[in-house]
């Protein structure tokens, strides 16, 4: 596959004909996706933009978090990888790639929907890396349900705990350890702007992440800590094949975008790197939409 610097037509850079119908038990594994997603394993080339940095990435085993972790490491950062215990095999693959890049990888499995686990994760990062200056909150829960009557309170609560509460717990716990120059990168979605009818709870959490991040950015700016958001569109990850989309929708997944295809996680790695690096030193409170051209407010 071409690396991120190769001149290509974005409409044909990756698969344009949707994906085969398939399903996995949540949360899903990258190694079981057909076809496999590109996380930048062979395509991302670093240029030293994060040399010596210390990063915590949630949801780092697959999908967007995996792409961010690989990109951070190849730019020179050590990385703590958070994921659910059932995703251990995927996470070990990411750790091997980080170590191949000459950086330290720390495996930190835990369910951040539990407050104690989310807060403990920060201390693991600080202890293992000797500090912390990049927090990338990527982990998310998404379950497609056609009828609101079928959304259980347990699902609604779990979605908010994973997507919103965990972000609050992790950032709050991290703040005493973050120096001036540190960055927090949260993950929203096109769903915050163009919500699908079957993703009521998920879309609501993504709008909340945008708002929380803009408030935090103003609060933390005087301390020299920047807060920004990446808002992906339709990306091919295990989330989609493990309940995030109806199985019958996968053959057309992503084709509604102006570019006519779903994105690959490798196309998001550079967005996280930009917001983590000093290149974006005057950017805070911003939402960077990476969605194949779908208009947003």
Joined tokens for residue 161: 């705990």
Show Cβ contacts of residue 150 under 8 Å, excluding neighbours closer than 6 positions.
none
Q: Which of 165, 193, 202, 272 is catalytic?
A: 202
For strands 54-57 and 78-83, give the pairing.
parallel
What whole-number distance in Å separates Cα of residue 184 and Cα of residue 213? 9
Q: Is 202 a catalytic residue?
A: yes
Please identify every residue annotated as catalytic: 202
């Amino acid at each position: 596959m071409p690396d991120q610097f190769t001149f290509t037509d974005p409409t044909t850079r990756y698969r344009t004909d949707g994906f085969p119908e398939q399903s996995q038990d949540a949360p899903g594994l990258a190694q079981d996706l057909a076809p496999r997603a590109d996380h930048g394993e062979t395509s991302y080339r670093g240029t030293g933009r994060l040399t010596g940095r210390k990063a915590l990435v949630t949801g780092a085993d697959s999908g967007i978090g995996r792409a961010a972790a690989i990109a951070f490491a190849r730019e020179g950062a050590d990385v703590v990888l958070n994921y659910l215990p059932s995703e251990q095999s995927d996470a070990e693959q990411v750790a091997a790639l980080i170590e191949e890049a000459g950086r330290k990888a720390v495996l930190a499995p835990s369910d951040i929907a539990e407050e104690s686990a989310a807060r403990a994760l920060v201390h693991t990062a600080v202890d293992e890396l000797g500090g912390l200056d990049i927090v990338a909150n990527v982990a998310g829960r998404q379950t497609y349900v056609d009828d609101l009557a079928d959304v259980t309170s347990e699902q609604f609560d779990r979605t908010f705990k994973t997507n919103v509460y965990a972000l609050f717990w992790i950032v709050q716990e991290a703040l005493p350890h973050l120096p001036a120059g540190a960055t927090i990168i949260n993950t929203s979605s096109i769903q915050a702007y163009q919500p699908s009818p079957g993703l009521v709870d998920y879309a609501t959490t993504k709008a909340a992440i945008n708002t929380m991040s803009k408030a935090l950015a103003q609060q933390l700016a005087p301390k020299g800590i920047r807060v920004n958001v990446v808002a992906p569109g339709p990306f091919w990850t295990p989330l989609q094949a493990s309940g995030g989309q109806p199985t019958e929708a996968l053959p057309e997944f992503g084709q509604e975008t102006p570019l006519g295809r779903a994105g690959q996680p490798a196309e998001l790695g550079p967005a996280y790197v930009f917001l983590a690096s000093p290149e974006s030193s005057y950017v805070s409170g911003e939402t960077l939409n990476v969605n194949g051209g779908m208009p947003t407010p």
